[in-house]
Amino acid sequence: MSVLLDIRDLVVEFPPAHGDGPGGAARVLHHVDLRVGRGESVGIVGESGCGKSMTALAAMGLLPVSADVAGSIVLDGAELTGLGDGAMSRIRGRRMGMVFQEPMSALNPVRTIGDQVAEGLRLHFRLPPGEALERAVALLERVGLPSNRFSPALYPHQLSGGQRQRVVIAIALACGPDLLIADEPTTALDVTIQSQILDLIAEVTAEEGMALLMISHDLGVIAETTDRMLVMYAGTVVEEGPTTEVFAHMAHPYTRGLFAAMPARGLIGGGRRLATIPGQVPDPRAPRVGCPFAPRCPRARERCRIDTPAADPFGPGHTVRCFYPGREEHAA
């Protein structure tokens, strides 16, 4: 499979701001490597603040201007770091589609849904307005909003949250991008609607042969939608591999902690008591020594507080950054 998105050695820092108190720059990504093959679906999972969104924003050229970025981000052979806003906005939308958590903030409240889906087609392909609208109606139908029930003349506020997210997906698909980046696309939706939207994303990306980068704090979402997954902790990829392999042989104590904290689907409130991972994520301004998970890790030993683990092979296509990976009984 040829590589579509190739992120190497990505480091993102925010310089200290006035009033931040003591401490240096906040390093939010530590040498992140991420590859997405053509047509492949890759997930990034981790707790809030681990750097998932920063990785997605970097790929889209949407990092805040205050961020210092080092490393390389290549899309389909072309280096994206250092591109200007103009060049980057031509790539966004045309080569990559985006779906975010809150559909209402992605949509313009005073423009019709048909107009918003048609916009990319007018902009990137210079289609005449009538033709662009016709294509927009077909795209809306494709995402489950047929025109006999959902006129393109509707405004976003006339739709439910799930229907709005369908409109956002139609916008993301409009120009036939090679890559869809979905950052917590179902987190703001009702539980009953979540799986419909995930199914839709999985279906359209598979049918179009599009690659998918799915970002979620929810291991269940990653299990349902991805071929390969990365687990991030404190700006570092701590485990990576084919999704089925990682679920079958979870190697990093952090991944196991996330799994233990995952509500069983359909059992929310009535099932087993959820574990939480005690402790807090480290301050990104603090100097880093040893494994970043060591202060919270049930298995940490002396070495973990001194040395930084490399990404070592654990299974087929499976790597882990841990000196004592695997099950408790294998750790000794």
Q: Give the binding range for ligand ATP (CB under 6 A) out of 48-56, 109-117, 129-137, 191-199.
A: 48-56
**Interaction of residue 28 with ligand ATP, rule CB under 6 A:** yes
Measured from the CB atom, the residue of 52 and 166 that comes closer to ligand ATP is 52
* Residue 108: alpha-carbon gap to chain centroid: 23
- CA dihedral (315, 318, 323, 328) in degrees, to 10, reads -60
Pairwise CA distance, residues 24 & 214, whole Å: 31
Given the DSSP bridges, would you call strands 228-233 and 41-45 parallel, antiparallel or unpaired?
A: parallel
Pairwise CA distance, residues 13 & 66, whole Å: 9
Beta carbons within 10 angstroms of residue 85's beta carbon: 9
Q: Give the binding range for ligand ATP (CB under 6 A) out of 44-52, 70-78, 115-123, 190-198.
A: 44-52
Tokens 């998970």 -> residue: 293
Q: How far is the CB of 186 from ligand ATP (least distance, A)?
A: 13
Q: Give which of 274, 307, 302, 270 is closest to 292, Cα–Cα.
A: 307
**Interaction of residue 14 with ligand ATP, rule CB under 6 A:** yes
**Interaction of residue 54 with ligand ATP, rule CB under 6 A:** yes
User: Please, what is the angle between helix 129-142 and helix 113-125, to 10°?
Assistant: 120
Residue from 39, 51, 103, 162 binding ligand ATP (CB under 6 A)? 51
Copy the structure tokens of residue 81: 């770091």
Q: By CB under 6 A, what part of segment 282-301 binds ligand ATP?
A: 284
Residue from 30, 34, 45, 53 binding ligand ATP (CB under 6 A)? 53
Q: Give the binding range for ligand ATP (CB under 6 A) out of 42-50, 116-124, 254-262, 315-323.
A: 42-50
- Strand positions, DSSP E, 185-298: 211-216, 228-233, 236-242
Measured from the CB atom, the residue of 52 and 135 that comes closer to ligand ATP is 52
Q: By CB under 6 A, what part of segment 187-226 binds ligand ATP?
A: 217
Given the DSSP bridges, would you call strands 179-183 and 228-233 parallel, antiparallel or unpaired?
A: unpaired
**Interaction of residue 27 with ligand ATP, rule CB under 6 A:** no
**Interaction of residue 61 with ligand ATP, rule CB under 6 A:** no
Whole-Å CA distances, 250 to 99, 263, 277: 29, 17, 16
Pairwise CA distance, residues 99 & 119, whole Å: 16
Residue from 36, 42, 50, 139 binding ligand ATP (CB under 6 A)? 50
**Interaction of residue 30 with ligand ATP, rule CB under 6 A:** no
**Interaction of residue 48 with ligand ATP, rule CB under 6 A:** yes
Q: How far is the CB of 5 from ligand ATP (least distance, A)?
A: 17
Measured from the CB atom, the residue of 67 and 193 that comes closer to ligand ATP is 67
Beta carbons within 10 angstroms of residue 275's beta carbon: 13
Contacts of 69 (CB under 8 A, 6+ apart): 10, 11, 12, 58, 63, 81
Measured from the CB atom, the residue of 38 and 288 that comes closer to ligand ATP is 288
Q: By CB under 6 A, what part of segment 250-289 binds ligand ATP?
A: 284
Pairwise CA distance, residues 303 & 298, whole Å: 14
**Interaction of residue 52 with ligand ATP, rule CB under 6 A:** yes
Measured from the CB atom, the residue of 23 and 317 that comes closer to ligand ATP is 23
**Interaction of residue 21 with ligand ATP, rule CB under 6 A:** no
**Which positions lie near ligand ATP, rule CB under 6 A?**
14, 26, 28, 46, 48-54, 64, 66, 217, 284
